[in-house]
Amino acid sequence: MASLQSSAISFSSSLGRFSTTRTMLPQKPRNYKLPVVESKIREIFMPALSSTMTEGKIVSWVKSEGDVLSKGESVVVVESDKADMDVETFYDGILAVIVVNEGETALVGAPIGLLAETEDEIVEAIAKAKGQSGGSSSGSESTPEPQSAVGVSDEPKKIVATPNAKKLAKQHKIDINKVNGTGPFGRITSEDVEKAAGITPAPSKSISPPPPAAAPAVGTPAKAAPVSLPEIPGSTVVPFTTMQVAVSKNMVESLSVPTFRVGYPVITDALDALYLKVKKKGVTMTALLAKAAAMALAQHPVVNSSCKDGKSFTYNSSINIAVAVAINGGLITPVLQDADKLDLYLLSQKWKELVEKARAKQLQPHEYNSGTFTLSNLGMFGVDRFDAILPPGQGAIMAVGASKPTPVANADGFFSVKNKMLVNVTADHRVVYGADLAAFLQTFSKIIENPDSLTM
- Point out the residues that are catalytic: 429
Q: Cα angle vertex 202, ends 196, 208, to 5°?
A: 150
Residues 6+ apart with CB under 8 A from 150: 43, 111, 132, 157, 160, 185, 186
Residue 385: C-alpha distances to residues 265, 341, 380 (Å): 10, 29, 12
State the amino acid at position 438 in one-letter form.
A
CA distance 300 to 241: 38
CA distance 181 to 190: 9
Count of residues for the chain? 456
Q: Other CB atoms closer than 10 Å to residue 294's CB: what's the count?
A: 25
CB 84 within 8 A of CB 60: no
- Classify residue 48 by its DSSP letter: -
State the amino acid at position 228 in one-letter form.
S
Provide the angle, in degrees to the nearest 10, between the axes of the packed helices 434-449 and 285-299.
Answer: 130
CA distance 140 to 50: 28
Residues 6+ apart with CB under 8 A from 339: 290, 291, 293, 294, 319, 320, 321, 347
- For residue 335, give the nearest of 314, 355, 312, 308 by alpha carbon: 355
Across 333-439, the runs of DSSP E, i.e. the strands, are 335-336, 373-377, 396-400, 404-409, 415-428
Residue 253: C-alpha distances to residues 216, 249, 250, 392 (Å): 22, 6, 5, 7
Across 279-339, the runs of DSSP E, i.e. the strands, are 321-323, 325-327, 330-332, 335-336
- Classify residue 68 by its DSSP letter: E
